[in-house]
Amino acid sequence: MTTVARLRPLLLPTAFAIGLLLLWQGLVVAFNYPKVILPAPSDIAAALTGNFAVIWQQTVPTMRDTLAGFALATVFGIGLASLLSFSRLLRDAIYPLVVVIQLVPKIAWTPLFIVWAGIGWPSRLAIATFIGFFPIFIAMMAGVDSTDRSLVRLCRGLTATPWRTFWLVRLPASMPYLFAGLKIAITLAVIGVIVAEFISSSEGLGFLILKSAALLQTDLILAAITMLCVIGLACYGAVHAGEVAVRRWHGE
């Protein structure tokens, strides 16, 4: 495989994004849009560099709560799905309840978490964990259910314990499903933290966006959104790197 072919997944979206930015810049300049309505990419870049200290200060709590919520969602999602795989009774009792809870729009739970956990980082952490939990749980359940039945029967024939069967057969088989859920969950965790910051927070990028909107600083709003995109891409890339490492460990 040539170097160009290997870099194609990176080069194509980068070139497309640059083309969109150039078109955006050209339209704003040609039609002389007011900066407060639609700032040009150059204005957004200037706002990002000129206010980088403030933006970075607000980025830290957003990243902290996102990563902590994602970590807790991963632990709870994998843990509960693994527990239900050992007991059909527990699965029949708990699984439908989890699905019913997730049918309620996530934004509807946000005020309750604020009442229960208070205004501050605990409520943001709880919301991020709650939103990120479901895709990980469902992906893990699907992965465990997809295990080759013949391998499970072989383990039983060799008198392997349920735990050993899970560790050696079911868990490795669930990895592709699990990482698909993790990729969804990390993006949802970012969304959950931002929503919580919109409703009740005095820090974070969500708070900065609301403050900038009140002051009609559209360029600063889009600069904060740009930073959010960078955070999301970095988190998604980290999960993808973990998936690649696990695949190599399994010899794929």
Is residue 82 situated within a structural domain? yes
d(CA 111, CA 117): 10
56-104 per-position pLDDT tens digit: 999 999 999 999 999 999 999 999 988 888 888 888 888 888 888 888 7
Is residue 165 situated within a structural domain? yes
Contact 98, 134 (CB under 8 A): yes
Is residue 101 situated within a structural domain? yes
Contact 58, 204 (CB under 8 A): yes
pLDDT of the residue at 223 = 92
Sign, CA torsion 25/28/30/32: negative
165-222 per-position pLDDT tens digit: 777 777 788 888 889 999 999 998 998 888 888 887 778 888 899 888 888 889 899 9
Q: How many distinct structural domains can be found in the chain?
A: 1
96-141 per-position pLDDT tens digit: 888 888 887 777 777 788 788 777 788 888 888 989 899 999 999 8
pTM here is 0.85
Is residue 156 situated within a structural domain? yes
Is residue 133 situated within a structural domain? yes
Is residue 80 situated within a structural domain? yes
Directed axis angle between helix 171-199 and helix 121-145, to 10°? 160
Is residue 107 situated within a structural domain? yes
Domain range for 186 is 66-249
Distances (CA, A) of 105 to 13, 101, 102, 123, 125: 32, 9, 7, 17, 18
Burial code of 30-43, b = ≥16 C-beta within 10 A, e = fewer?
eeeeeeeeebbbeb
CATH number, domain containing residue 190 = 1.10.3720.10
